[in-house]
Amino acid sequence: MNTDIMMPLLTSKSEILNEKMIVLLNREVPNIMKIRPWSLLFSISHDGGSMITFYEMTKKYSGTIILVRDSKNAVFGGYANAEWHIDKYFYGTGESFIFSYYNTTLMDVYRWNGGPEYFMWSDDSSIALGGGEKLGLYIYEDFTKGKTNKCLSFNNKPLTSVEFNIDYLEVWGSLK
């Protein structure tokens, strides 16, 4: 079974990704996520913009994909390999990464480059992936705005405009 070209089983329809984009993303996630069904855990259209709801809906999931479509129709996000929780320190491992699509057939993926081990960060007012001087992907507490910058952990380009407005956000996961 070639998991690189498989379409993972999604328990519901994504409002952000088409099938080709899902296959591209499936190539990048860890093998365990390639063979497990992806469940829609949180979306701002169904669950609103509450950080409390985000944490409640994502607990027990140690492999989550955050997908963002901004107001300029750019699509980007990140894979987080640990369970999201409020913490005053960075956590997670180098399995986490961030990505951006630049059309429906190509994507840029930014993985840990051996630099600072700043993978996931979250508190009661924001979540982030990647760090070191600036954050790779930062989302504010009401899930309407965010920022993206080059970060030392992933050595990435900004995923979209440095400051962006979120049009739609989904979080997908597979159980531990």
Q: What does the pLDDT look like over 126-146, one tens digit per residue?
A: 999 999 999 999 999 999 999
Q: What is the reported pTM?
A: 0.94
Position 1 in a domain: no
Position 8 in a domain: no
What DSSP designation does 75 have? E
Mean pLDDT score, 148-156: 97
CA angle 75, 79, 85 (to 5 degrees): 115
Position 4 in a domain: no
Domain count, the chain: 1
* CB neighbour class for 50 (10 Å; exposed up to 12, middle 13-18, buried from 19): middle
**Domain boundaries, position 117:** 19-175
Position 7 in a domain: no
The reported pLDDT for the residue numbered 1 is 45
